[in-house]
Amino acid sequence: MIFGPELIVVIIAAVVLLFGGKKVSEFTKSLGRATGEFKKGRLEVDEEIKAIKSKKETTKTKKESK
């Protein structure tokens, strides 16, 4: 059985033959956009988590100083 880069080339060739170059191009473009949106969402969540942690630490520090 073929493993590695050869298998990837065979799969890509089969997909292009089945769907055509235009559809594959549209799919990869959509995949790129989706990846970008995912990264953007992940960064937003990370920022929210950091804000919550810093708010929690600030509250904790204020309580300890009283």
**Domains of the chain by residue range:** 19-65
User: Tens-digit pLDDT profile for the chain (66 aa)?
Assistant: 667 888 888 988 998 899 898 888 898 899 999 999 999 999 999 999 999 998 888 777 766 665
Q: What angle do CA 46, 35, 6 make, to 5 degrees?
A: 130
> Letter for the amino acid at 37?
E
Q: Where are the alpha helices (DSSP H) in 1-66?
A: 5-19, 21-65
